[in-house]
Structure 1
Amino acid sequence: MDELPIGRRVAYWRGRRKMSQQVFADRLGKSKSWVDKVERGVRRLDKFSVIYEIADVLQVDVQLLLGKDPERRPDTVNCIDQVEVEEIRSALERYNQISAFFTATPQAPPLPEMRKAVSHAWLTFQHAKYGVLARALPKLLRDGQALDTSTPDPDRPEAAHLLGQVYQIASSTLRKLGEHELSWLAADRSIAVCQRADDQLLAGVATYRVGSSLLALGRARPALEIHVNVANQIAPAGDTDSTPERLSVYGMLLLQGGMAAARLGDTATVHDLMNEATRVAEHVGGDANHYWTSFGPTNVQLHRAAAMVELGDGRMAVETHDVINQTGGFDALLPERRAHHYLDLARGYSQMGEMDKAGEMLLEGDRLAPSEIRCRPIAHAVISDVLRRTRGTPSPAIAELAEHMGVGV
C-alpha cells in the first residue's frame, strides 16, 4: 500500500474502521464533500496537523498514512499495533500451495521444531501475552505454510495439523484484539487445512473458531447454527466413543452455541446448551485442556456467567461467580480464562450499576493478565463506562489503568 496516494490510504483505513464518509467527516469536524475530495485526490493533504488529526480519528500510526514504516511505540509493547496487523495480514494472504507449482518452496523448519513453536504459541495465548504472540505469528504462519507445502508423505497430515493449529491461534488472537474479519479468514483457513490433517476433532475446534469470529462480527444466528450442527456431528455415539478429547471439543461447541444464543436473547436455548455442557463436563472429570479448549466444569460455569451478561442479567452472572469461588477450580485455570471472566464480571456489575465493583473486577483482570484488559476493545468500552458513571473522582488505581489503556479520565 506504500505506493498509493495519501487520499487512497485514508479511504482504505476508513473502510477498515467501518466508518462512513459522513461519520468520519463528523469526527474530523469537516464536511462529507471535503472527505470525498481528499480520498479521490482532488484535494491535497499538505498540513501535518490535519494528517495527525486524521491518524488519531482512524487510530493508526501517522507513518502508515504517509506511506512509511510505522515507529513502534513503547506503550504498545503488550498490545498489537498496525505493524503486527499488516504483517499478519500479509502472511494470511500467501497462497503457497499454488505458488509451489511455479516457484521454489520456501525453506521450512523441521517438524520437531515446528511442534515446539506451535505448543509455545498456544501457551503464550492462554497466558494472554497477545503482543508477544502477534509479533511471532507472521513467521509462525509462514513456517507452517512452508512446512505444509514441502513435507512429503507420510508426514503431510502432521504438517497440515500444525498449520491448522497456527491458523486457529491466529484467529483467536485477532478476535481478542478486535480484528474480526482477519480472525474469520484465519479460522476458515484452518477448517480447510484440518480436513487434510484427517483429524475430525481439530476440524471441530476450527469450526468453533469460525463461529466465534462470526459472533464477533455480529452474525449470531449463523454462529449458533454452525456450533449446534457440528456439535451434533461430533457428539459421542456411545461409551467407547466418549474420549476426554471428543467430549471436550463437543462441550466447547455447546458452550459457544450457548453464547451465540445469548446474543440472540434466546434464553431457553442458552439453558439447554449450558445444561448439556454441564453434563458433558461431568464425564470429562476435572478441568482439562484437551485440544487447547480448557473445557471442564469450571469453564462451563464461566461461560454460564458470560451468557447471563449477554442476556443482560448481571446479577445472575455475579451469583454464578460466587458458586464458582466455592468449587475451588477457578484458581487453577490459565490466566486468559480467569482474566476474561473478570472482564465479564465487570460488565455484569456495570449492568447492576455497581461501578466500584466493576472497576475492581477490571483491576483483578489486569493483575492476572494485563493484555486481556488493556488490549481488548470491549475492555476499553467497559472502563469508559466505569469512568463516565462513577460519581465523583475515580479511584487512583482505576485512573492509572485508564491512562495505561489510553482512555481519558
Structure 2
Amino acid sequence: MAEVADAQDQARRLGRVIRDARLRQKRSQAQVAAALGYHQAKVSRLENGRGTEDIRVLRDVARVLDIPLHELGLAASPVPHTADPKKEDMHRRTFLAASVASLALPPASSPAAHQDLVQALLPATPLAPTADKVSARELGERVAAARRLFCTCDYAELGRALPPLIADLRRAAADSSHTSPVVGLLATVYQTSASLLLKLSDVGHAWMAVGRAMAEAERCGDPVVLASSVRVHAHVLARDNHTSQAVTLVRHTAEQLTGAYDRRSPHYLSALGLMLLRGVTAASNAGDRAATQDFLREAADVARYVSLDRPEAWANFSPTNVELHAVSAAVALGDAGIALETARPLMRRSIPVPERRAALWIEAGRAYSQQGRLADGYRALRVAESCAAQDIRRPAVRELVADMAARDRRRAVPELHHFCRQLGVPA
C-alpha cells in the first residue's frame, strides 16, 4: 500500500507543478484549457492530480505552460549525478516493487474474464498434469486464434480464451525442452495478455504479463519471439511514462537485429518492423522528433521486404502499418494538419486488420479535435466504431469523447453528446 500512496503523491506533485506554472503566468484555468483545446474541468482535474498518467496531455500542458519536460516526468533530469551502482540497484528494485504493488489492485468494476486473466498471470504452484495432453499443433492454432481475437478487437472473448490457454501452455512448456516452440507460444500468449491489459488501461497487471513474456522469450532464444516481447515491453514502459527508456530499449534491440533484410524470413521482418513502430510511438510521445523519424525510416526500409496484413500472430506489418504510425506520431507531436494529410490516402485504402482500421480513424478523431473540428472528430470516431465497436469503448477513447463533448459548450454537435452518453462517460 505504501507504493500506491507514493503513486498518489506523485500524481499530486505533478498537479502542483502544473498549478504553480499556471499561476506564475497569471493565467486562469479557463485560459489554459482554451489553449489546450480542453474543457476547464480537465485542467482542474490535472491540478488535483487526476489524469496525470496521460503522456499526451502532460506534454501538451508542458508546451502551453513552458514547463520543462523533466518536471513532469517526461524526460530525465538534466542535473548531472555520479553513477552509484547501489543507488541504481535500489532505484530498479523500487521501480519493480511499485509495479508489483499495483498488481494487487484490480481495476474498479473489473469483469470476471479480466480477473481470471490476472489470476492466470500470478505466480502459482506447478500445474497438475492432465490425462489428455494437448499437441503443440493444437496449441499453436489456439494461439493464432487468440491473436485474431485481438486484431479483430473482440476483447471480451479474448479475455475468456487466454486463462485456459495460459494454463495449457504452461503445462506443455514444463514438459518440453527450453528450445521447444511451445515456450515461444507461451511468450506470445503473455505478450497478447499484456497488450489486452494495456487496451483496458490496466498498466499494473500489464507489467506482470510483459515480465513473463520477456522471461519466456529469453528461455526460447528465438529472435522473432524476443523482438515481439521487446515490442510489448516498450509499450508498457511508454504507457507508464518511461518513454526515454522505451526508446533506448527498442534502439538497443534493433541494433542487434537490423540488416540483411533480403535474407530474413517474413515473420522475422514483421516482428522487427512492429518493434521499430513501437519505437515510433514511444519517441513521439516523448516529443523526440529526430528519434521518431529514425524509427519510421528504418521501419519503412523493413517494409520494403515484407507485407503481412493478416490478423494473426504479430503478422500485421506492412508499408500501410508504417504510414498508420506516421499518422499517430504526428498527432502525438501536435501536428494535426500533417496527421490528417497523411491519413487521407489511408482512409481510401483497404486495411484488413480491424484494430488497425479503427486506430486510423481514432487518430483522425484526435487530430480533428486538436484543430477544434469537433463535428469531423465525432464522425471519425463513429467510423472507428463501425470498424471495431469494442475498441471505441477503451478508457483512452472514452476520455477523448468526453473531452470533445465538454468543449462543445454550445452543443453545436448534439450527436457528440448523445455518443458520450451512449459510451457512459460524463462530459
Cα pair 2:107 2:202 within 8 Å, conserved = no
C-alpha offsets along residues 41-60 of structure 1, whole Å, 9 cap, x if unaligned? xxxxxxxxxxxxxxxxx973
Partner of 1:223: 246
- CA distance in 2 between partners of 1:294 and 1:22 (Å): 36
- 1:291-302 to structure 2, matched below 5 A, reads 291-302=313-324
Any unmatched runs of 5+ in structure 2? 13-43, 46-105
- CA distance in 1 between partners of 2:423 and 2:273 (Å): 34
- 1:246-265 to structure 2, matched below 5 A, reads 246-265=268-287
- 1:196-235 to structure 2, matched below 5 A, reads 196-235=219-258
Task: Determine whether 1:392 maps to 2:410.
Answer: yes
Cα pair 1:211 1:226 within 8 Å, conserved = yes
Partner of 1:124: 149
1:338 aligned partner, one-letter code:
R
Task: Determine whether 1:315 maps to 2:334.
Answer: no
- CA distance in 1 between partners of 2:215 and 2:107 (Å): 33
- CA distance in 2 between partners of 1:139 and 1:195 (Å): 23
Cα pair 1:274 1:300 within 8 Å, conserved = yes
Partner of 1:178: 201
Shift in alpha-carbon separation, 1:175–1:106, aligned structure 2, 3 A = farther
Cα pair 2:310 2:352 within 8 Å, conserved = no
Cα pair 2:284 2:333 within 8 Å, conserved = yes
- CA distance in 2 between partners of 1:106 and 1:59 (Å): 33
Q: CA deviation at 1:369?
A: 0.4
- CA distance in 2 between partners of 1:361 and 1:266 (Å): 27
Q: CA deviation at 1:142?
A: 1.6
2:157 is paired with a residue of what secondary structure? helix
Task: Determine whether 1:383 maps to 2:404.
Answer: no
Q: CA deviation at 1:370?
A: 0.8
Q: CA deviation at 1:124?
A: 0.5
- CA distance in 2 between partners of 1:132 and 1:295 (Å): 24
Q: CA deviation at 1:289?
A: 6.3
1:407 aligned partner, one-letter code:
V
Cα pair 1:356 1:390 within 8 Å, conserved = no
Q: CA deviation at 1:122?
A: 0.6
Shift in alpha-carbon separation, 1:392–1:88, aligned structure 2, 3 A = same
Shift in alpha-carbon separation, 1:17–1:381, aligned structure 2, 3 A = farther
C-alpha offsets along residues 291-345 of structure 1, whole Å, 9 cap, x if unaligned? 414111110000000001110111111010013246x3xx233101110121111
Q: CA deviation at 1:159?
A: 1.7
1:343 aligned partner, one-letter code:
I
Q: 1:89 aligns with which of 118, 126, 137?
A: 118
Partner of 1:60: 108
- CA distance in 2 between partners of 1:118 and 1:243 (Å): 20
TM-score by length of 2: 0.71
Partner of 1:45: none
Q: 2:295 aligns with which of 273, 284, 294?
A: 273
C-alpha offsets along residues 171-209 of structure 1, whole Å, 9 cap, x if unaligned? 111111101121122122112112232311111111100
Cα pair 1:201 1:234 within 8 Å, conserved = no
Cα pair 1:174 1:182 within 8 Å, conserved = yes
Cα pair 1:141 1:163 within 8 Å, conserved = yes
- CA distance in 2 between partners of 1:250 and 1:341 (Å): 21
- CA distance in 1 between partners of 2:107 and 2:191 (Å): 26
Partner of 1:245: 267
Partner of 1:401: 419
- CA distance in 1 between partners of 2:323 and 2:261 (Å): 25
C-alpha offsets along residues 366-397 of structure 1, whole Å, 9 cap, x if unaligned? 111011111x1110111011101125336564
- CA distance in 2 between partners of 1:213 and 1:275 (Å): 23
1:405 aligned partner, one-letter code:
L
Any unmatched runs of 5+ in structure 1? 1-10, 28-57, 62-80
1:249 is paired with a residue of what secondary structure? helix
Higher relative contact order (CA 8 A, sep 6+): 2
Task: Determine whether 1:140 maps to 2:165.
Answer: yes
Cα pair 1:254 1:274 within 8 Å, conserved = yes
2:231 aligned partner, one-letter code:
Y
Task: Determine whether 1:332 maps to 2:357.
Answer: no
2:316 is paired with a residue of what secondary structure? coil
1:408 is paired with a residue of what secondary structure? coil
In terms of mean alpha carbon deviation, does 307-316 or 266-275 score higher? 266-275
User: How big is the alpha-carbon RMSD for the aligned residues of Structure 1 and Structure 2?
Assistant: 2.9
Shift in alpha-carbon separation, 1:248–1:315, aligned structure 2, 3 A = same
Partner of 2:98: none
- CA distance in 1 between partners of 2:268 and 2:286 (Å): 27
**How many pairs were matched up?**
335
- CA distance in 2 between partners of 1:21 and 1:316 (Å): 34
TM-score by length of 1: 0.74
1:228 aligned partner, one-letter code:
R
Shift in alpha-carbon separation, 1:367–1:394, aligned structure 2, 3 A = farther
Cα pair 2:148 2:313 within 8 Å, conserved = no
Q: CA deviation at 1:83?
A: 2.6
1:370 aligned partner, one-letter code:
A
